[in-house]
Amino acid sequence: QKEVEQNSGPLSVPEGAIASLNCTYSDRVSQSFFWYRQYSGKSPELIMSIYSNGDKEDGRFTAQLNKASQYVSLLIRDSQPSDSATYLCAVQSWGYNKLIFGAGTRLAVHP
């Protein structure tokens, strides 16, 4: 059974701080990794994808992937109250055309 694990939170950070969200996965042949943001009562939206080891930056967001440790993270710099949401980690394995989602980490950014 492929699994994706996230700390449910809430992760509470002050405005302007760096929020660090973590995700581990069990399937060693996982190839593609995604972060989705979901506001309360809304549908998820894709914010980052990462496929190779290392860092990938997009604006205030940085995704980090370490396949040896089976670990992917999302850093949000200069956190804003509008970043308060649940962040879902999703993993796709080679030749397996489906995503496995984690349960999500709830982030709360307070002024």
Partner 1 sequence: DGGITQSPKYLFRKEGQNVTLSCEQNLNHDAMYWYRQDPGQGLRLIYYSQIVNDFQKGDIAEGYSVSREKKESFPLTVTSAQKNPTAFYLCASSPGTSGRNTGELFFGEGSRLTVL
Binding site for partner 1 (CB under 8 A): 4, 8, 31-32, 34, 36, 42-46, 49, 51, 88, 90, 92, 97-99, 101-104
Token pair for 109: 């950014």
Residue with Cβ nearer partner 1 (3 or 57): 3
CB of 89 to partner 1, least distance (A): 9
- Please give the single-letter amino acid code of residue 80: Q
Residue with Cβ nearer partner 1 (5 or 15): 5
Pick the closest to residue 28 from 87, 83, 93 (CA basis): 93
Burial 23-41 (b: 16+ CB within 10 A, else e): bbbebeebeebbbbbeeee
CB of 11 to partner 1, least distance (A): 15
